[in-house]
Amino acid sequence: MTLDEILKEIKNAQTIAILTHESPDGDAIGSSLALKLMIEELEKEAEVIIPEFPRTFQFLPGAEQVKIDTETKNYDLVISVDCATLKRLAKNEYFENAKKTIVIDHHGSNNMYGDLNYVNPASPACCEILVSMAEYFQIHMTKEIGTCIMTGMITDTGGFRYMGITPETFEYTADLLRIGVDIPDVYKRIMGTKTKANFELTKKVISRLEMLEDGKVAFSYINAQDEKEVNAEPGDHEGLVNIGKDIEGVLVSIFIRQKEEENAYKVSLRSEDGINVSDICLLFGGGGHSRAAGALIQGNVEEVKEKLMKEIKKWMES
Ligand code: 5GP
Ligand code: MN
């Protein structure tokens, strides 16, 4: 069983690092910090290496210990959480130089790039996989671990709203509430708080929002210049794709964000029932989940929009 092997590797390693995907969201950060604390419960140490850390998650236990880089270059064990491919893994040089690697993830598009892979696409959040791991390893669930876990579960289920939710989502949530996790506080921080920069970007996204294909597709964008104007920090673009998604009749929401140095746009797609946006993103070298996916596409706003619409139209017609 993979979980037994994972436990053995953790126990055997002298040096352990945890990595996650670039532009980390609440599930990426929550999984990284929860896993660090779980490893500590097993009386081992692990370093979390995340180059861009959104301010929203600074309240989480262990956030102050997160490293941008470390002295150790060849870890005995490197664990990747919430990340589908090696390419998307931030600081993946640590992964490539590790003696042993483990991948823990919930993306259907995961290509199993670790020595050991524990991937469950039926799980709505990577953090939810960690709860089942903690149970299996008989790790004592603390309030601190639970707070990190709850952050990932709330983020990736959109506050318990998305199709992927499972009975376990609510059972684990109830268990965490029982041990004292302040769920309303986590919920407010993740779902109910906007940074000022995010608010300013929201206004731009709304003013540029276009409805295409008889209102079935919503499209909007932000440029690097917009982010400079509002002093955007990492994570300030989170959730902007939902503005289009929440409009009545919209089946696919497209939000693109300029990556100036790469002459490209980072694409976020969200969909309602029936259109698998992960498959669309895979065509552009990206991936994700059937209803939430992303990719990096070269070109200017119009070119990227055209490339995407060509594929989306095919899906709508099929
Ligand atoms: P978001 O739109 O929030 O950035 O990403 C939505 C989902 O797609 C997330 O699960 C994210 O991990 C995944 N995703 C976003 N961009 C990429 C990408 O370039 N490659 C892959 N494989 N997955 C991506
Ligand atoms: Mn996730």
At 198-230, the pLDDT tens digits run 999 999 999 999 999 999 999 999 999 999 999
Predicted pLDDT at 54: 95
pLDDT at 317: 85
Q: With 90 as the cut, is the pLDDT of residue 316 above it?
A: no
Backbone angles phi, psi at 143, to 5 degrees: -60, -35
Could you say which ligand is closest to the alpha carbon of residue 292? 1
pLDDT at 32 over 90: yes
Residue 125 pLDDT: 98
Query: What's the gap in Å between 109 CA and the centre of ligand 2?
Result: 12
Cβ atoms 145, 134 nearer than 8 A: yes
- From the CA of 31, the nearest ligand is 2
User: What is the average pLDDT across 126-139?
Assistant: 98
CA neighbor of 1 nearest in space, from 85, 157, 147, 116? 116
**306-318 mean pLDDT:** 93
| pLDDT given at position 277 | 96
Average pLDDT over residues 237-257: 96
Give the pLDDT band (50/70/90) at residue 73: very high
Q: Is 235 in the pocket of ligand 1 (CB under 6 A)?
A: no
- In this prediction, residue 157 carries a pLDDT of 96
Q: What is the pLDDT of residue 274?
A: 80
Percent of the chain residues past pLDDT 90, beyond the cut: 96
Percent of the chain's residues with pLDDT above 70: 100
Q: Is the CB of 126 under 6 A from ligand 1?
A: no
288 Cβ below 6 A of ligand 1: yes
CB 299 within 8 A of CB 307: yes
| Residue range 154-177: mean pLDDT, rounded | 95
pLDDT band at 272; cut points 50, 70, 90: confident
Position 233 scores a pLDDT of 94
Whole-number Å distance between alpha carbons of 302 and 82: 31
Whether the pLDDT of residue 137 is over 90: the answer is yes
pLDDT of the residue at 318: 79
d(C-alpha 211, C-alpha 27), whole Å: 30
Best of 107, 123, 242, 308 to mutate for ligand 1, by most ligand atoms within 8 A of CB? Answer: 107
Q: Is the model's pLDDT at 111 over the cut of 80? A: yes
pLDDT at residue 162 greater than cutoff 90: no
pLDDT at 221: 98
Q: Is the pLDDT of residue 273 over 80?
A: no
Mean pLDDT of 225-252: 96
| pTM, to two decimals | 0.91
- Ligand 1 neighbourhood includes 293 CB (under 6 angstroms): yes
